[in-house]
Amino acid sequence: MSDSLAEKIACLEVLAAVANLNGDPTPLEFEAFLAAINSFQPLPAGVTPEKLLSTSADIAQQLSQIQAPELQQQVYRGAFAIARSKGIDPQEAKVLGEMKTAFALSPEMAQALEKQPLIHASSDNFADSALSGMASLIGREGEIRRMIFDYAMGAAIVGLVPLTGGGTLEIKLVIVLALILKMTWDIRQRWGQPQGQGMLVTMGSAFGILWAGVAGLIVWGIMIGLGVVVPYADAFAKAAGFATATWLVGQAVNQFYASPKRPDFSALKRAFPNLISTDKSTS
């Protein structure tokens, strides 16, 4: 492998590592990542955006391999654009600082590079990458929906367990709460621990969780009421209430963590300029 090819691959791996710094990249980070690696066209044989994002590279080690000043400036500009796409957090600021030090970039040079815009990718290869990202997003939504259903069934089973004696309801509530907390943790991990949801999304999800508790109580009461006319219906009251509350909490939590991953109209328009009209009124 030639030195120039090794340097280019190191640049691409650094950009992928920056995109993956806080877990799976959000749609804005993914879009900026595509634009950043587009400046290194043509990509080395066998190198694709998806393959770059699936690898784990040591940023410090890769930075030491990049010696050409023009490549150093190019990769810093791309890394800054990726970090800026959703707001630079302390971890990203630290990496950008390490890049400035490794490349001996003066404050003036760094500021000049940060002001230079990236050209967004519009080739067929990058459209395929955008489609792959969207397909992955849809697939993950389905996986998480099935996982939430499994937790809801688990909560229903807890409600059906025939316990007797004082404090059995409290014990079941604690077990269901533990299931909900574990489900929330799993959903967060599946989405790559995304950040930047915003105040409105946070408030909406909080109200969704509150509504889940209210809906669980309503279903519980309905099943008890049905028990008056339908034999043994009230025996499923706890199971129905627990399952309803768990399902709705899962949906609210999923919407909270999925919101930073969904591409907006402008991102879709840049990814598919030939399919989406620039005039929204004609869509």
Task: Give average pLDDT by consecutive 10-residue segment, the chain, 283 residues.
Answer: 78 90 76 84 80 82 89 92 86 91 91 79 50 61 89 94 83 94 89 75 91 94 91 89 96 85 54 49 44
Alpha carbons 259 and 154: distance in angstroms, whole number: 26
Hey, where are the domains in the chain? 3-120, 125-265
Distance of CA 18 to the CA centre of its chain: 15
**pLDDT value, residue 132:** 55
**pLDDT value, residue 267:** 52
This prediction's pTM: 0.53
Assigned CATH topology for domain 3-120: TerB-like (1.10.3680)
CB-based contacts of 154, cutoff 8 Å, min separation 6: 179, 246
**pLDDT value, residue 273:** 53
Question: Which residue, chain included where needed, has tokens 């967004």?
Answer: 120
CB 49 within 8 Å of CB 27: no
Alpha carbons 6 and 8: distance in angstroms, whole number: 5
CB-based contacts of 32, cutoff 8 Å, min separation 6: 19, 78, 81, 82, 84, 85, 118
**What is the sign, positive or negative, of the torsion defined by CA atoms of 134, 135, 136, 137?**
positive
Count of C-beta atoms within a 10 Å radius of residue 20? 20
